[in-house]
Every structure is written in structure tokens, then in C-alpha cells.
Structure 1
Amino acid sequence: MAGFWGRRKREQEAAQQAQDDDLARRARAALVAADERIRTTSDELDFAVAELGETATKDLREGLVAVRTHLAEAFHLHQLNHDEIPDTAEELRTRNARIVQLCEWAEDVLDERTEALRERIATVRQAPQILERVRADVERLRERLPQARATVERLSHRYSTEAMHRVSANPEEAAQLLDFAIHSADVSARRREARRPEEANVALETATEAVRRAATILDGVEDFEIEALRAQSTLADVIADSREDIVAARPLTQSGAPHSAEVTAAVAQLEAALAALPGPGTPSDPFADLASLREANAALDAAVEKARERAARPLPSIEHVQHAVDAADRALSVAASVISGHRGWIGADARTRLAEAQRLRIDIDPLVAPEDTREEAMTLARRVAQLANEALQSAQRDIDSGRPDGDDWGDWGGWGGRRGPMPMGGRGGGGGLLGPVVGGVLLGGLLGDIFD
């Protein structure tokens, strides 16, 4: 029996020794790999600085400093394993595990920070192709400007000034952005030739962003016309539904009926909204008309709900619900288009209401068909439309507060050759428009060259 336990103990000790030997080998290999990785990453950093500049490579440089500090600790632990002072097996095991941990951490840090630079380095190396694409995109978008101006002119005879306020300045804003994109591209090319990569990269990013915003603004003109036509179509359906609702609510306005005063007031409000709609051939704002009518319609629905027993109240038809969903979609589309085209001016309130409306919209479609959830779909659709309209109103206030006064769009910079910092969102010249494009990232020296 003693022989059995002795053999088992020797087997356990041999297994532990094998594990310790394997851990020691891993520690040595990890030290060598991490040390080599530091050397190769230092070379990569030198190349990255040459292509991106000091600021863009700051994180990698700081990561290398931290890794070297921790690897010095790992080398010190490895030295302790091989000095003249005897060590216990547990001490060796603890040190080797720490060495492996430090080396793996170093590899992870360098992986993360070099990966973050790869895309930017690739962009820099493709800068000539990107600049060529920017110029091609500018020419393509400039070809759309006459059509956009003609569309705005044509629509101004069909829709009211309030409705056209959302897109009336879009063609001139787009033209200004395209001029700015070309100028920024030229600055980027000159800075690269002068071996000032950091400024060249910022100017390149500014040029591509200006082109993207110009495209969004021009798309907004076409989207407005389409969405306005859809809103008019939806408005016609909602008018018919509203008249049916008034007829259906008449019996509940009789004296003695529950909540008759509230129903009577709601009917009068909806009739007033119908009467306020502009006549045929009169310039109108279909979005505002639709929102006003939907609000009065919703008020009547709420009054009727109080006046009827829940069980006796007929469910809304699928068509009625679908009209509400369509109205919500139209309101969402218009709000998203305006906010996307002017993101630099848009504050948190408009963005928050749009995001909440988009979140609620996802839940509607599965609820439309089933009878037991149709009312919930109607409520959600109306809430989506309300939030979208609030987002649009808030966005318009933000845009109005940031857009330059008057029609002084003749010069894209509005600076008349004056050098100096550009007011981000100010009232002078194109500052309010270009502020969101530059985004506060241009260096002081670069600003002077862009606006010389």
C-alpha cells in the first residue's frame, strides 16, 4: 500500500514538473516574440509618422512606451529565475506566469493600436486616387445644380413659403460646398507635396465630407418633391377618413350622451381643420396640413373613446391604420432628410426625437393586421408622426439659428480674401455652412491657406 501511494506521488510530481517546464518554455518564447514585436512596431511607427504626422500616431507612440516599461519588468523577472539565489518551484511558476501575462498584454496593445492606424495609412497611400474621385464627384454633382434650382423654382409655385423653407436654399448651399471641396482638395495636394502629411490628411477628409454633404443636400430637393406628392395623396385619404369620423361621431354629440360636450368640441375642431385647408390651386404646405388634420383627428378619436364603451367601439380598419402609418412614414422621411443634410447645425433635441420616432416605427408593422393590436398600431403611428414633426420643427429652428442672414451666397467663403479663423456657425458669409464641414478639425496654419 505504501508503494502505491509513493508511486502516485511521484507521478503527480512528474506531471507538475512537466507543466512547470512547459510554462517556462512559453515564458521564454513570449519574451522573444514581444521584444521582436516592439522592434518591428517601432519601425512601423517611423513610417506612420512620415505618412500621418505626429498627432495621428500619438496613441501608438504612447502604447510603445507603456509596452517597453512592462516588458522591462518581464525581463527582470526572467533574470530572477536564473540568478544565483535558489528559487522554489512556486516562485518560478509565479514569475513565469507573470512573464506570459505581460507579454500577451504587450502584444494586445500593439495589435490594437497598429490596427487603428491601418485604415488611415491605406487612405493616405490612396490619396491621389481619392483626390481624383473627389474632383470627379464634384463635377458630377455640379451637373445636378441647374436641375435642382429649376425644381426649387417650379415647386415654389405649388407649395407655400413655409413648406419650401426646408429646401429653398439647398442648391446654393450645395454649390458652396462643392467649391469648398475643390479648394480643400487643392490644399491637400499642396500640403502633401510640401511634406506636411498631417495637414494634407485633414484637408483631404474635409474635401470628402464637403462632397458627401453636398450630395445629401441635393438629394433632399428631389426627396422633398416626392414626399410632398405622397403627403398630398395621404392628405386626401385622411380628409375622407376625417369626414367619415365626423359622421360617425354625430350621434355622440346629442344632449345626454356621455361626454357629449367633449365629442362636440372635438368635432368642431376637426371641422375647423378641414375648413382651414387651402383650396385647389392655392400654394400649400402638405406636411403641415397633414400634421394639423391628424392632430384634430386624434383629438376626436380620444373624445369618442371616452364616450363609448370599449367593447362597443368598432376597431379601426386596416386602411385607416395604414393611412396613419403612411403619414408617419412621410413625416419620418422628411425629418430624416432635413437632419441628414444639415447635421452640423442640428442639436440634441431634434436628433433625440428622430431617433425615438425611428425606434417606435420598427414596432408598428406586425401590429397592423391583427384585430387585437390594430389600435396599438394606430397609436404608435400617431406617436411616430408627432415625434417626427417635433424633430423637424426643432431641426428647422437649429438651422435657422445657424444659417447666415440674407442671400449672400455668392462667395463660398464669404471672406473676401481675409485671412484668419473661420467662425464655426457664425453669421458672417459662409461660416455657418462651412463650420459643420470643417468640424473644428483644421489646423490654424491650414485655415490660412484655405481662405487665402
Structure 2
Amino acid sequence: MTISTEDPVPVARAGPVASAAAPERDETSPTDLLLPLAVLGAAGVLAGYGYVRRTRRARTRTTPGMVSVRPPAPTADEFERQARTALVVADDSVRTSREELAFAEALSGAEAVAPFARALRAAETELAAAFAIRRRYEQGVPQDEVARRQALVGVVGRCAEAGRRLDAEAPGFDQLRALERGAGEALEIAEGRFRELAGRTGGAALTLGGLGERFAASVVKPVTGYLEQAKDRLVFATGHLNACRQADDAAARERAARHLRAAEGAIAQADVLVSGVERLAAQVREAAGLVPAALTGAEAEIAAAREAGPADVPAGELRARIARADGVLRAVREELTGGPYDPVGALRHIARAVEPLGVGRAGVIGAAVRLVARGAVGAAEDFVDTHRGAVGAEARTLLAEAARLLAVGGPGVALADQLARQARDLAERDVRAHGTPYSGDPVTGLGGAVLGGILLAEEPDGGPPASFGGPETRGRRGLRPGRPPGPDPA
């Protein structure tokens, strides 16, 4: 399970609606043909169970009553909750599997992990199709009520298939890692990444301080608090690395594997947070170097619009657009000479100012749009990655669409920037509403580990660490019945 207020994920397979959303295939697989039947079968089982319960209640009532021969169908709200929950669980499963796969590859090599990498790519494809269906649904497509419910079933089915792909490979993946036979080299790799990250965290702090001194405060806003969170993850990792080594020395292999996976998850998220600061610094430096050229390019586009603007824009409207663009460029120049400024924000203003002129987005303006969009999508990805225990389906759907548009390129890149920023805002709203779980727990870093989805919050000590796999297997390293939570015995 994941930290969410939504309903548990339904185990259903994709139907025809979902299949239409996925990339075209060369041939129809037997799985695709069976998916609608699986969805209907699961729905029938649940409906039948409910019918039997209602019938028994009716028979034991003292007052006469009518028993409906048909159980009520799920409501639109129930379909909605199932689809949202399915997206969150599938997305979490993919993100966690990607993280652990990197640790496995560091030890065993790319060739050894190739089958699991293929399964992950297949799951990513199914998840992308699910997000695409959900995105169109939110835009009102399709309009027919029955078709809209089928679309939600398609979302659930695609997510179920993504999870199935990962669940099917989890046993083989565990055999490759062989953590239950001894942490050994896997522990050494985790400790090596830990030490490297500890050094980078100090350097990133200096970098962040330099950005704050040179540029406007808005520059560092996307990564505010990241280094503190990275340190929190590293403190959490420290405790579990030590516990893993103690358990491994005591031949408590299962407990050692549990501690190692918790540490690996924390290290991976610390890496995301530190890398986010480093990437922002590089982006700001690149943007600062591009601003003068972007101003020149924007002036050229304004001149071209004056000479021959879009044919479908009335002359009066075109003059108004040109005037607004001129005003934006003047404001940007004033920012450049008036003290600390935001280079990324300046590029965003320039690009948006000339966009309505419709004279083309090639050259330096196009480069500015791509730079800004990459930064926005990357920042939103980092936030969702490290707060996945609280972020809901709405933010993830917008982020998936932003990432798709950025990958496709062309005119949609500007929209990718907008959607990514909206996704980040929604994700932050979700985190504020969720709060910090386990904040009063004496185990240092536990709250951040649960908020980040490193632990699944199913047990008193924060729950099992999330592992490679889908909904059925990702929590397999939980405590066995009768085993108390807490540190390993000395």
C-alpha cells in the first residue's frame, strides 16, 4: 500500500479503451484479448459477493422487503477513486523499481539486469498509456458517460498490467541480488554511494549559497529545503547501513536485506535532492549566458512581426501584441541592470512575450523555451520522486503529460513548462495536506522516509522498504508474524 487517502488499487486488466491509448503494436497478443474478460470477471466476483450479503440481510429482516435481482453498479466516484489509486501505486512501483535496478546494475552489470530493465520499460509503457488515457479523460474525452467509465477501466487495467510485469520479475530479481544470502558487495556499493553523496552535499551547499548571493531569491526557490532533506535521508541511511552490517554479521540475512533496502532507498532520494541543486545551478548559469542572445532574438522576431505578422491576426490586435512584447523586453533589460535577477524567469518572460506574434520559434528563442521546460519538468520530477508517499494522481498525470511533450519537442515544449509547474504546485499542495507522518517517532529520519515512499508505512516501525516489483511484491520485505520491529539484537 502507499500513503494515500484513496481506495486500494483494484486488480483489473486493461480493456479495449486502454489498448487504443498505447503505442501501436505489430500484432495482437493473447494478453490484450484476455484483459477485458479479466476486468469483467473481477467486477463480477465483487458484485456477486455483495449480492449474496444483501440477500442474506434481506432474508433475516423482520420486515418484508424486496431484494434486487441486480447488484448496483459501482458509482462514478468509485471508478474515479480506483483509477486515481491505481495510477499512484503503479507510478510508485515504477519509480522504486528504477531505483533498485540501478543498485543491481552497479553490482552485476548491465547484461545481467537486462531482463529486468526490459520489464521496467514495458511497465513504463503501460503506465504512460494509463496517464495518457487519464489526461484525455480530464480534458473531457470521451464525452459519453459509458465511454468515460470504460476509459477509467482502461486506466486501471493499464496500471494493473504495469504492476504485473514488475511482479512477474521480482523473484528472479531477488535471485540476482541474493541479498538474503548475504549483503556483502551490495552493502559496500551502498556505503560507497553514501560517502560520495556526503561529500557532494557539502559542495552543493556552497553552490546554493553562491546562487543566493548572485541572483534573485526566486532562483533557488525550486530547491528550497532540498539539502536539509538530503541530510535527513542520509542520517536515516546511516542507521540502516549500520543495522544491516550488524544483522549480516549475525547471519540474520532477511533483516539485513530489509535494512539494506531501506538504506538504498534513502541514498537514492538523497542523490535526487543533491542532483536537483547541482542541475539548477547549471541551468541558471546556462540561462544567464543565453539571456542577452534571447533579447536580441526577440527583437528580431518583433521586427519580423511588424513587417509581416500572422495573416489571421487583425492589425489592431497585432499592434497590441507587439506593444506588450516590447514592454516585456524593456522590463527584462531593467532587471538585468537593476541588481540580482532570475535568468530562468527572464527567459520564460521573453519566450512568452514573443509567442503570440507567431513568427516562428527556431533559433535562440526555441533554445530558451527548451531550457526553461527541461528545468521545470526536472524540478517537478524530483519533488514527486522524493515526496511520493503524499503526492496524488492529479499532479502525476500533469507531470507525465509535461514529460511527454518535452520528449516530443516542437510547439508543445512551451506547454510542457506550464504543465510541469502546475504539477509541482499540486504536488506541494498534496504534501501540505498530508503532513509529515511519524514526525514524533524517535527513529531519526523516519518521517521523511515514509513521506518519500522509502518505507510503505504498514508496520509500527514505518513498514517494509519498497523494493523492485509491482503492488503484489514491492512490500515483500516486511516483518514476519511474531517478529517485533526495532533494531537487531546485539
TM range (shorter): 0.5 to 0.7
- 1:296 is aligned to 353
Q: Is the 8 A contact 1:232 1:286 kept in 2?
A: yes
Check 1:164–1:430 CA distance in 2 against 1; reply closer, same or farther (3 A cut). Answer: farther
Percent sequence identity is 23
Structure whose CA Rg is larger:
1
Q: Secondary structure at the match of 1:279?
A: helix
Check 1:115–1:214 CA distance in 2 against 1; reply closer, same or farther (3 A cut). Answer: closer
Q: Is the 8 A contact 1:173 1:214 kept in 2?
A: yes
AA aligned to 2:368 is: A
Check 1:159–1:404 CA distance in 2 against 1; reply closer, same or farther (3 A cut). Answer: farther
AA aligned to 1:449 is: G
Does 1:270 find its partner at 2:325? yes
- For residue 460 of structure 2, the aligned residue among 423, 440, 444 is 444
Q: Is the 8 A contact 1:187 1:449 kept in 2?
A: no
AA aligned to 2:227 is: P
- For residue 315 of structure 2, the aligned residue among 252, 260, 263 is 260
- 2:382 is aligned to 341
- 2:200 is aligned to 144
Q: Give me the whole-angstrom Cα distance separating, in 2, the residues matched to 1:354 and 1:165.
A: 19
Bigger relative CO (Cα 8 Å, ≥ 6 apart): 2
- 2:213 is aligned to 157
Q: Is the 8 A contact 1:235 1:286 kept in 2?
A: yes
Does 1:216 find its partner at 2:272? yes
Q: Secondary structure at the match of 1:438?
A: coil
Displacement of 1:385 in angstroms is 2.6
Q: Give me the whole-angstrom Cα distance separating, in 1, the residues matched to 2:194 and 2:318.
A: 57
Check 1:168–1:258 CA distance in 2 against 1; reply closer, same or farther (3 A cut). Answer: closer
Does 1:322 find its partner at 2:363? yes
Q: Give me the whole-angstrom Cα distance separating, in 1, the residues matched to 2:429 and 2:341.
A: 21
- 1:395 is aligned to 424
Q: Write out per-residue CA displacement over residues 367-404 of structure 1, whole angstroms, 9 at most, x where no aligned residue.
A: xxxxxxxxxx4xx2xx2132133213421442365279
**TM-score, structure 1 length as denominator?**
0.55
Q: Give me the whole-angstrom Cα distance separating, in 1, the residues matched to 2:374 and 2:295.
A: 21
Q: Give me the whole-angstrom Cα distance separating, in 2, the residues matched to 1:433 and 1:112.
A: 25
Q: Is the 8 A contact 1:181 1:208 kept in 2?
A: yes
Q: Is the 8 A contact 2:394 2:426 kept in 1?
A: no
Q: Give me the whole-angstrom Cα distance separating, in 2, the residues matched to 1:272 and 1:414.
A: 49
**TM-score, structure 2 length as denominator?**
0.51
Check 1:184–1:442 CA distance in 2 against 1; reply closer, same or farther (3 A cut). Answer: farther
Q: Secondary structure at the match of 1:284?
A: coil
Q: Is the 8 A contact 2:294 2:364 kept in 1?
A: yes
Displacement of 1:115 in angstroms is 3.5
Q: Is the 8 A contact 2:183 2:253 kept in 1?
A: no
Does 1:169 find its partner at 2:225? yes
Q: Write out per-residue CA displacement over residues 257-288 of structure 1, whole angstroms, 9 at most, x where no aligned residue.
A: 97122112211221222233213262222222
Q: Secondary structure at the match of 2:336?
A: coil
- For residue 256 of structure 2, the aligned residue among 195, 200, 215 is 200
Q: Give me the whole-angstrom Cα distance separating, in 1, the residues matched to 2:199 and 2:227.
A: 11
Check 1:294–1:114 CA distance in 2 against 1; reply closer, same or farther (3 A cut). Answer: closer
Q: Give me the whole-angstrom Cα distance separating, in 2, the residues matched to 1:159 and 1:400.
A: 27
Does 1:331 find its partner at 2:372? yes
Q: Secondary structure at the match of 2:224?
A: coil
Displacement of 1:139 in angstroms is 2.0
AA aligned to 1:272 is: G
Q: Secondary structure at the match of 2:341?
A: coil
Q: Give me the whole-angstrom Cα distance separating, in 2, the residues matched to 1:446 and 1:196.
A: 20
Q: Secondary structure at the match of 2:218?
A: helix
Matches within 5 A, 1:347-426: 347-364=392-409, 377=410, 380=411, 383-399=412-428, 402=431, 415=440, 418=442
- 2:48 is aligned to none
Q: Give me the whole-angstrom Cα distance separating, in 1, the residues matched to 2:248 and 2:462.
A: 12
Q: Give me the whole-angstrom Cα distance separating, in 2, the residues matched to 1:446 and 1:357.
A: 32
Q: Secondary structure at the match of 2:328?
A: helix
Matches within 5 A, 1:38-77: none
Q: Is the 8 A contact 1:170 1:217 kept in 2?
A: yes
Q: Secondary structure at the match of 1:444?
A: coil
- 2:191 is aligned to 135
Q: Secondary structure at the match of 2:428?
A: helix
When structure 1 is superposed on structure 2, of 209-218 and 227-236 the one drifting more is 227-236
Could you list the runs of 5+ residues in structure 2 that have no partner in the other structure? 1-167, 464-484
Superposed CA RMSD: 3.8
Q: Is the 8 A contact 2:344 2:372 kept in 1?
A: yes
Q: Secondary structure at the match of 1:276?
A: helix
Check 1:166–1:196 CA distance in 2 against 1; reply closer, same or farther (3 A cut). Answer: same
